[in-house]
Amino acid sequence: MSDRFYPAAYTKTIPQGEVCWQAPSNIALIKYWGKKEIQIPRNPSLSFTLTACATRTSVGFSLRTDHSSDYSIDFYFEGEKKEDFLPKINTFLKRAQPYLPFLSTYHFEIRSENTFPHSSGIASSASSMAALAICFVDIERQLLGLPEEALDHTKASFIARLGSGSACRSVQGKIVEWGVHEETNGSSDLYGIDWEEEAHEIFKTYHDTILLIDQGEKQVSSTVGHGLMEDHTYAERRFSQAHEHLSQLQEALRSGDLESFTTLVELEALTLHAMMLTSNPSFILMKPNTLKVIRRLQHFRETSGLHPCFTLDAGANVHILYPDSEREEVYQFIKNELVGYCENGGYICDMVGNGAKKINASASKTLVK
Residues that bind ligand 2P0 (CB under 6 A): 28, 31-33, 35, 39, 45, 123, 125, 164-166, 222-223, 226, 272, 313-314
Q: Which is nearer to ligand 2P0, 180 or 361 (CB)?
A: 180
Distance CA 369, CA 366 (A): 5
Position of minimal CB gap to ligand 2P0? 165
Of residues 34, 43, 50, 27, the one with CA closest to residue 245? 43
Q: Which is nearer to ligand 2P0, 45 or 72 (CB)?
A: 45
Distance in Å, CB of 275 to ligand 2P0, minimum: 10
Q: Which is nearer to ligand 2P0, 33 or 322 (CB)?
A: 33
Q: Which is nearer to ligand 2P0, 110 or 314 (CB)?
A: 314
Strands (DSSP E) found in the chain: 16-30, 35-36, 40-41, 45-63, 72-77, 80-81, 106-114, 175-178, 192-194, 207-211, 309-312, 318-322, 347-351, 357-358
Distance CA 191, CA 224 (A): 22
Distance in Å, CB of 258 to ligand 2P0, minimum: 22
Q: Which is nearer to ligand 2P0, 181 or 226 (CB)?
A: 226
Q: Give helix 235-255 / helix 258-277 axis angle, nearest 10°.
A: 160
Q: Bridge-partner residues for 211, per DSSP? A: 318, 347
Q: Which is nearer to ligand 2P0, 44 or 308 (CB)?
A: 44
Q: Which is nearer to ligand 2P0, 44 or 60 (CB)?
A: 44
Distance CA 205, CA 196 (A): 11
Neighbour tally for 101: CB within 10 Å = 15
Q: How many helices (H) and strands (E) does the chain have?
A: 8, 14
Distance in Å, CB of 23 to ligand 2P0, minimum: 14
Distance CA 152, CA 138 (A): 8
Distance in Å, CB of 231 to ligand 2P0, minimum: 18
Q: Which residues of 26-62 are buried (b: 16+ CB within 10 A; e: fewer)?
A: bbbbbbbbbbeeebebbbbbbbbbbbebbbbbbbbbe
Distance in Å, CB of 15 to ligand 2P0, minimum: 34
Q: Which is nearer to ligand 2P0, 32 or 261 (CB)?
A: 32
Distance in Å, CB of 164 to ligand 2P0, minimum: 3
Q: Are 128 and 114 in contact (CB under 8 A)?
A: yes
Distance in Å, CB of 319 to ligand 2P0, minimum: 11
Of residues 35, 30, 53, 312, the one with CA closest to residue 177? 30
Distance in Å, CB of 255 to ligand 2P0, minimum: 23
